[in-house]
Structure 1
Amino acid sequence: MLSYHIFEWILFFYIYCFLGWVFESTYVSIKSKRFVNRGFMKGPMIPIYGEGAIMMLVATTPVQGNLVLEFVMGMIGATLLEYVVGALMESVFKVKYWDYSNQHFHIKGYICLSSSICWGALSVLMAEVIHLPIERFVLSLDYTVLVVIALVVTTIFITDVVTSAKEAWNLRIVLVALTKARGEIAALQHQLELKKVQITEQFVDKKEELVEDWQAKKDFLLQSLKGNLQSAVDTENIKAKLDEELTKYQSLIEKFTSTSIWILKRNPGATSKKFYEALENVKEHIDFKRKNK
């Protein structure tokens, strides 16, 4: 099995990427009660399945025929791969495109026991059943045809990866900007509350200082009027800045949904620890637009 040449390995990878997409899209679509083009990429491929399949083939080949060892080796290899890819993607894009945090015995949401068991069972199934007809098909192809198919699909695959990575990076930029804008909004709202309290306190203090003397009354009224006018100006300035930040926040969400909406449509379960609120706001906006089409 390990004697395959490079173009055969490449074609195996793409076939399993496609089969993984079929499985994921079917499962998520049934669960969501609508079609979901699942995965990081726009095309019908999910690389983690292709990578996992290759890892399983490499891990199970030395122990082929021993079902227990096939299960264990495939489970370990695929689980390690899933952890590394998940951690790397979150580190780069600041978003988890799959998250097992709601499962028992998970590690940072990247892997969990039930997923690992599934990988082990799939390893046995693939080594003993699934891979055999796929192997026969690939090995039956004329070498020239094999090379042409591999090169054409590779070109499409790389283009899709670059486009999808750019889309994911745009989401990262938007989440950073939204989080910063939320901080500005919170700070301005706090300033507005402080200003309201300050105006109330100034009025109470000046009222208590009022004396019977007319001159004192006049000075008090003039001083109070100036102070109130200044406070009113300050308050209006804060309100204007707050409105500006709220408009900016909304325009950022609109900009993202008009250019990079598909990355979240393909990954409805995506989460982000660092940018949780911003990501949820974007998801809510996408949901709202979908329901009001």
Structure 2
Amino acid sequence: MTTIFSSSGDTGQYFFYFMIYSFLGWVLEGTYNLYSNGSFRKEGFLKGPFKPMYGFAPLLLLIARDLTLPFPMFLLLALVIPSAVEYVSGWLLKTVFQKQWWDYSGMSYQLQGHICLRFSLYWWALSIACVYGIQPFMERLYSQVHNVWELIFPLVGLYLMADLLWTCWSRYRSEKTPQYQD
């Protein structure tokens, strides 16, 4: 099995995985929203088609996998890591932007509306599927496209940075703009 961390420290490879998983997270949430609310598009933090917490969690799980921990310990981390990423993301977004993008407060076994047991178990199953089912495909895909990716990943990085800056600026500006009511 190929490990995510090589001695050369291929930042482009890690960024490839981050962007692909962030995009797949956007697709997953859109599909879930389509199923549950009848509309694919749901407001996310970023303006573009990426959900960064879906990029961070798999990278942290790949680090855990490559530590060659006992399998039961990895299974525990596959539950804890995505839940921790979701909690920190929710807390940070609410703290910085005074807005909660998701709210589990009506569900059992929840923590401040940011995480709940039901979705943590969903993320746990998805994490196992990601690391052992999807990631081997991602590694093969990267080996096929890495020459092209090396050329375009700085542009993709600039796009992500521009999206982040535009999102922060526009959200900050909308908070400062007076809201008039007729």
TM-score (structure 1 length as normaliser) = 0.56
Cα displacement (A) at 1:148:
1.6
Normalised TM-score (structure 2): 0.86
Shift of 1:163: 1.2
CA shift for structure 1 position 139: 2.3
Q: Is the CA contact 2:109–2:117 (under 8 Å) kept in the aligned structure 1? A: yes
1:49-198 → structure 2 map (5 Å cutoff) = 49-63=54-68, 66=71, 68-143=72-147, 145-174=148-177
Deviation at 1:59, TM superposition (A): 2.3
1:96 Cα offset (Å)? 0.8
Q: Pick the structure with more helix per residue.
A: 1
Structure 1: which 5+ runs fail to align? Answer: 179-248, 252-293
- Alpha-carbon separation, structure 2, partners of 1:104 and 1:31: 19
Identity of aligned residues (%): 29
Q: CA deviation at 1:38?
A: 4.5
- Superposed displacement of residue 23, structure 1: 0.6
Instruction: Give the SS at the match of 2:88.
Output: helix
Equivalent pair of 2:58/2:131 in contact (CA under 8 Å):
no
- Residue 64 of structure 1: CA displacement? 6.9
From 23, 26, 32, give the equivalent of 2:28: 23
C-alpha deviation, 1:37, in angstroms: 4.6
Question: SS in structure 2 opposite 1:109?
Answer: coil
Letter of the 1:3 partner, please give it. F
- How far apart are residue 65 of structure 1 and its match? 8.2
1:69–1:55 Cα change, 3 Å? same
Cα 1:64/1:138, change in 2 over 3 Å: farther
Deviation at 1:19? 0.4
Deviation string, structure 1 residues 64-104 (Cα, Å, up to 9, x no partner)? 783x4332112212222221221111111111112111111
Q: Secondary structure at the match of 2:40?
A: coil
Distance (whole Å) between structure 1 residues aligned to residue 165 and residue 68 of structure 2: 37
How many angstroms does 1:49 deviate by?
0.7
Q: 1:120 deviation in Å?
A: 1.7
After superposition, give the CA deviation of every residue in 1:192-211 in whole Å (9 maximum; x if it has no partner). Answer: xxxxxxxxxxxxxxxxxxxx
Kindly state the Cα deviation for residue 31 of structure 1 after the two structures are TM-superposed: 2.1
SS at structure 2 position matched to 1:86? helix
Distance 1:160 1:119 in 2: 26
Could you tell me which of 39, 45, 51 is aligned with 1:40?
45
| Distance of 1:155 and 1:71 partners within structure 2 | 35
Root mean square deviation, CA, Å: 2.1
For 2:22 and 2:14, locate their aligned partners in 1 and report how far apart those are by CA, in whole Å: 12
Once residues 172 and 98 of structure 1 are traced to their aligned partners in structure 2, the CA distance between those partners, rounded to angstroms, is 19
Does the C-alpha gap of structure 1 residues 160 and 113 become closer, same or farther in structure 2, counting only changes over 3 Å? same
